[in-house]
Structure 1
């Protein structure tokens, strides 16, 4: 990624217009998730928690975020593809879309026009409204692909970026075979809604509330409950201060479940060149 490619973003883009099909899609998924009380079972709840971790912690946090967006460690290509596939199953967009947007977020954190989910525009904008009022440079493939050129050159990521949403169909069919409609309601709709909002909390609340361990040119914060819900991503000030470090929770009590998975991959010889916190890092408490 060259810095020049970031400079092509407009300083004052065209007025925003709401995308009603997108609103209808998210509203429909949320409405179906509300059926959960009528389809409850402990096994269905277990499916929700399992898939939230598998698609969220492994697919999004470890894969889309720490591996693909920041390249904070390396794994064999086959494993990278498998982890990215899990990220696509989260229904948070294809890998090129997700990575491009996140890299822009770091390049222009909280900039009103250049950060796709800028917290400077308020909680609801950074949490969800940025999706309902899409801007072409962030949502049109021909525009955003230049912000993730390493992925855009790869045919597999092209395919995954285009067809990620279709992957919910085999997931739903498998869940139906295992547990009927209860597993579909919980394993698809409830899981999607919870995973969406826990991910969006990192865009919104961790730029508003919490404590700061490091000086950074933004309002990023470390927020304990957001870290619990997102397997370690809530230690957001640590991450913004050192975005290419694979570990988000630095202190012993800053629980980072995703980091545990990276450590396991390292022990198994599957993760290499893992970026660790620098020895000369200076915290605000120093």
Structure 2
């Protein structure tokens, strides 16, 4: 797929309206009446719950790459946290990410970085892409699970329920910051892994694509920015392989392992232990 052909793909107006609405409502946080330090604190707490525990730990390392296993009850909690990030539901998210790794930076990669920063960051989501047709093929291990199906089907209603809870706890400031501002933050930080880490940084391993290690993306995404390491060793639970490559998510997995909650933890060959 070339830049020209990508621009000819039909626009997905449902997604465009969805994204525009979230971003526009988030701007209401600029009004003094919608500001409170409690609301800001809530937004950053939910950024950790949904971005770190949900997307990074749950959707990505646990489900997509099977880097470790946890008891089913904890797996469902992490998947639920990821669903609260409102990035398309667990089944579609996992399927598209597995496709990305299989075809990284080639024509069949949903967010091929060769098509430019904008395309890999969020442009691909605003079009009807053929990769969606491949999702069932790459999610056979989770597609039949009733809980995953529930999260996939009712992602928006789950978010609305959270919004109602936040409204009763702190009014509109909690809703604006805890839902809309937080969603925008987690959206773009997650998308930087698709865009920035395929443009900026350094390569420490051969991965046959444009993936790079980018320290500032790692900082924003709890360790996901060590992306070249990850593409070289996709199933490793640890992305920050050098001692100075800080990986908060790997530290979280270590805590879960020490508690007996994380098992079958997979590591890059040089990091494997008995």
- Equivalent residue for 1:48, pick from 21, 43, 46: 43
Change (3 A) 1:137 1:212: closer
Q: Kindly indicate whether residue 264 of structure 2 is the aligned counterpart of residue 270 of structure 1.
A: no
The aligned residue for residue 127 of structure 2 is 133
| Other-structure match for 1:8 | none
- Equivalent residue, structure 1, for 2:20: 27
The whole-number CA distance in structure 1 between the counterparts of 2:88 and 2:13 is 18
How many matched pairs? 266
**CA distances 1:6-36 after superposition (whole Å, capped 9, x unpaired):** xxxxxx9995111223212211111111111
Which consecutive residues of structure 2, in runs of 5 or more, have no partner in the other structure? none
**Structure 1 equivalent of residue 244 of structure 2:** 253
| C-alpha contact (below 8 Å) 1:214/1:237 kept by paired residues | yes
| Residue 211 of structure 2 is aligned to residue 228 of structure 1 | no
The 3-state SS of whatever aligns with 2:167 is: helix
> Are 1:74 and 2:69 counterparts?
yes
Q: How does 1:129-278 map to 2 (within 5 A)?
A: 129-138=123-132, 143-278=134-269
Quote how far apart the aligned CAs of 1:156 are: 1.7
TM-score, scaled to structure 1: 0.89
Residue of structure 1 aligned with 2:95, choices 93, 100, 123: 100
Q: Distance in 1 between matches of 2:139 and 2:183?
A: 25
Q: Which deviates more from structure 2 when the two are superposed, residues 28-37 or residues 62-71?
A: 28-37
Contact 1:146 1:152 in 2 (8 A): no
C-alpha contact (below 8 Å) 1:36/1:190 kept by paired residues: yes
In 1, Cα distance between equivalents of 2:13 and 2:270: 49
Q: Which runs of 5+ in 1 are unaligned?
A: 1-11, 282-286
Q: Answer yes or no: is the 8 Å Cα contact 2:22–2:184 preserved in 1.
A: yes
Counterpart Cα distance in 2 of 1:186 and 1:122: 31
Q: Distance in 2 between matches of 1:13 and 1:158?
A: 30
* TM-score with structure 2 setting the length: 0.93
